[in-house]
Amino acid sequence: MESRIIYNFNKNSDLQNWIIVDDVVMGGQSSGTFSISANGFGVFEGVILLANNGGFSSVKYGFPRIQLDGYTKILLKIQGDGKAYQFRLKSNSEDYYSYIASFNTSRDWQEIEINLKDMFPSFRGKQLEQPNFSDDHIEVVTFLIANKKNEKFKLLIAKIELQ
Protein backbone atom coordinates (compact mmCIF):
# COMPACT_ATOMS: atom_id res chain seq x y z
CA MET A 1 0.00 0.00 0.00
CA GLU A 2 1.25 3.47 -0.87
CA SER A 3 1.95 5.76 2.04
CA ARG A 4 -0.32 8.78 2.49
CA ILE A 5 1.13 12.18 3.29
CA ILE A 6 -0.51 14.03 6.17
CA TYR A 7 1.87 16.97 5.72
CA ASN A 8 5.02 17.43 3.64
CA PHE A 9 6.80 20.70 4.39
CA ASN A 10 8.39 22.90 1.74
CA LYS A 11 9.45 26.54 1.37
CA ASN A 12 5.90 27.51 0.34
CA SER A 13 4.04 25.64 3.10
CA ASP A 14 0.99 27.48 4.39
CA LEU A 15 1.05 27.34 8.20
CA GLN A 16 -2.45 28.80 8.61
CA ASN A 17 -3.85 25.56 10.11
CA TRP A 18 -0.87 25.03 12.44
CA ILE A 19 -1.64 26.47 15.88
CA ILE A 20 0.66 26.95 18.88
CA VAL A 21 -0.85 25.96 22.25
CA ASP A 22 1.39 26.80 25.22
CA ASP A 23 0.90 26.46 28.96
CA VAL A 24 -0.20 30.13 29.01
CA VAL A 25 -3.73 28.69 28.59
CA MET A 26 -3.38 27.71 32.28
CA GLY A 27 -1.19 30.52 33.59
CA GLY A 28 2.26 29.29 32.51
CA GLN A 29 4.95 31.28 30.72
CA SER A 30 6.33 28.85 28.12
CA SER A 31 6.52 30.11 24.57
CA GLY A 32 6.68 28.25 21.28
CA THR A 33 6.72 29.37 17.65
CA PHE A 34 6.22 27.57 14.36
CA SER A 35 7.79 28.72 11.11
CA ILE A 36 9.32 27.47 7.87
CA SER A 37 13.11 27.25 7.65
CA ALA A 38 15.10 28.51 4.65
CA ASN A 39 15.39 24.85 3.60
CA GLY A 40 11.62 24.34 3.73
CA PHE A 41 11.21 22.44 6.99
CA GLY A 42 8.68 23.12 9.73
CA VAL A 43 10.47 24.59 12.77
CA PHE A 44 8.83 24.19 16.19
CA GLU A 45 10.99 26.01 18.73
CA GLY A 46 10.84 28.01 21.91
CA VAL A 47 11.38 27.87 25.64
CA ILE A 48 9.71 25.87 28.39
CA LEU A 49 9.36 27.58 31.77
CA LEU A 50 8.03 25.78 34.84
CA ALA A 51 6.99 29.00 36.62
CA ASN A 52 3.27 29.38 37.47
CA ASN A 53 2.64 25.63 36.99
CA GLY A 54 3.83 25.83 33.39
CA GLY A 55 5.84 23.27 31.51
CA PHE A 56 4.64 22.60 27.96
CA SER A 57 4.43 23.91 24.43
CA SER A 58 2.74 22.31 21.45
CA VAL A 59 1.92 22.88 17.81
CA LYS A 60 -1.20 21.26 16.39
CA TYR A 61 -2.48 20.78 12.88
CA GLY A 62 -6.16 20.24 12.15
CA PHE A 63 -7.32 18.96 8.78
CA PRO A 64 -10.35 17.42 7.08
CA ARG A 65 -10.91 13.85 8.29
CA ILE A 66 -8.47 11.29 6.85
CA GLN A 67 -9.73 7.70 6.66
CA LEU A 68 -7.07 5.25 7.81
CA ASP A 69 -8.20 2.41 5.49
CA GLY A 70 -5.49 -0.13 6.34
CA TYR A 71 -2.81 2.32 7.48
CA THR A 72 -1.30 1.15 10.77
CA LYS A 73 1.68 3.47 11.35
CA ILE A 74 2.72 7.09 11.38
CA LEU A 75 6.15 7.94 10.03
CA LEU A 76 7.76 11.20 11.17
CA LYS A 77 10.81 12.58 9.39
CA ILE A 78 12.33 14.95 11.95
CA GLN A 79 15.54 16.45 13.27
CA GLY A 80 15.57 17.22 16.96
CA ASP A 81 17.78 18.60 19.66
CA GLY A 82 18.37 15.49 21.78
CA LYS A 83 15.21 16.05 23.82
CA ALA A 84 12.06 13.96 24.28
CA TYR A 85 8.82 14.94 22.52
CA GLN A 86 5.32 13.57 22.15
CA PHE A 87 3.41 12.98 18.95
CA ARG A 88 -0.33 13.18 19.54
CA LEU A 89 -3.39 12.62 17.43
CA LYS A 90 -7.14 12.93 17.71
CA SER A 91 -9.71 11.04 15.72
CA ASN A 92 -12.19 13.86 16.26
CA SER A 93 -11.04 17.45 16.67
CA GLU A 94 -13.55 18.09 19.46
CA ASP A 95 -12.32 15.18 21.65
CA TYR A 96 -10.96 16.46 24.97
CA TYR A 97 -8.22 13.80 25.05
CA SER A 98 -5.42 12.84 22.66
CA TYR A 99 -3.67 9.58 21.81
CA ILE A 100 0.02 9.84 22.61
CA ALA A 101 3.37 8.34 21.61
CA SER A 102 6.65 9.64 23.06
CA PHE A 103 9.89 9.69 21.12
CA ASN A 104 13.47 10.79 21.69
CA THR A 105 15.38 12.91 19.22
CA SER A 106 19.00 13.17 18.23
CA ARG A 107 20.66 16.03 16.44
CA ASP A 108 20.56 14.01 13.19
CA TRP A 109 17.67 13.48 10.80
CA GLN A 110 15.56 10.55 11.95
CA GLU A 111 12.59 8.58 10.76
CA ILE A 112 10.39 7.82 13.77
CA GLU A 113 7.87 5.04 13.21
CA ILE A 114 4.83 4.92 15.50
CA ASN A 115 2.31 2.09 15.56
CA LEU A 116 -1.16 3.61 15.81
CA LYS A 117 -2.40 0.77 18.04
CA ASP A 118 0.36 1.59 20.59
CA MET A 119 -0.84 5.17 21.08
CA PHE A 120 -2.61 5.55 24.43
CA PRO A 121 -5.30 8.03 25.46
CA SER A 122 -4.26 10.86 27.76
CA PHE A 123 -5.67 14.13 29.10
CA ARG A 124 -3.57 16.79 30.87
CA GLY A 125 -0.68 14.40 31.37
CA LYS A 126 -2.74 11.53 32.82
CA GLN A 127 -3.27 8.25 30.98
CA LEU A 128 -6.98 7.45 30.69
CA GLU A 129 -8.59 4.12 31.52
CA GLN A 130 -9.75 3.37 28.01
CA PRO A 131 -8.37 1.39 25.04
CA ASN A 132 -5.44 2.46 22.87
CA PHE A 133 -6.11 4.04 19.50
CA SER A 134 -8.38 1.94 17.29
CA ASP A 135 -10.42 4.46 15.27
CA ASP A 136 -10.59 4.43 11.48
CA HIS A 137 -9.91 8.16 10.98
CA ILE A 138 -7.93 11.14 12.30
CA GLU A 139 -8.46 14.92 12.22
CA VAL A 140 -5.63 16.44 14.33
CA VAL A 141 -1.91 15.81 14.85
CA THR A 142 0.22 17.58 17.48
CA PHE A 143 3.86 17.80 18.54
CA LEU A 144 4.35 18.57 22.24
CA ILE A 145 7.32 19.03 24.56
CA ALA A 146 6.89 18.74 28.35
CA ASN A 147 10.01 17.38 30.07
CA LYS A 148 9.37 18.92 33.51
CA LYS A 149 12.34 21.30 33.26
CA ASN A 150 13.20 24.78 32.09
CA GLU A 151 14.74 24.39 28.64
CA LYS A 152 14.96 25.73 25.11
CA PHE A 153 13.83 23.41 22.33
CA LYS A 154 13.93 23.09 18.56
CA LEU A 155 12.36 20.41 16.38
CA LEU A 156 12.58 20.39 12.57
CA ILE A 157 9.80 18.52 10.78
CA ALA A 158 10.13 17.43 7.15
CA LYS A 159 7.18 15.10 6.77
CA ILE A 160 4.30 13.32 8.55
CA GLU A 161 2.86 10.33 6.73
CA LEU A 162 0.65 7.29 7.17
CA GLN A 163 1.96 3.84 6.33
All domains of the chain in start order, with CATH? 4-162 (2.60.120.430)
Cβ-based neighbours of 63, under 8 Å, separated by 6 or more: 6, 17, 139, 140
Q: Is the pLDDT of residue 1 over 80?
A: no
- In DSSP terms, 60 is beta-bridged to 19, 142
Distance CA 88, CA 69 (A): 19
CB-based contact 74:89 (threshold 8 Å): yes
pLDDT at 25: 85
Taking residues 101-121, report their average pLDDT.
98
Torsion of CA 24, 90, 163, 33, to 10 degrees: -20
- At 115, is the secondary structure helix, strand, or coil? strand
Taking residues 126-139, report their average pLDDT.
97
Cβ-based neighbours of 88, under 8 Å, separated by 6 or more: 58, 60, 98, 99, 100, 101, 140, 141, 142, 143, 144
CB-based contact 47:27 (threshold 8 Å): no
Note the pLDDT tens digit of each residue in 33-44. Answer: 999 999 999 999
Taking residues 94-105, report their average pLDDT.
98
Taking residues 116-123, report their average pLDDT.
98
Distance CA 105, CA 107 (A): 7
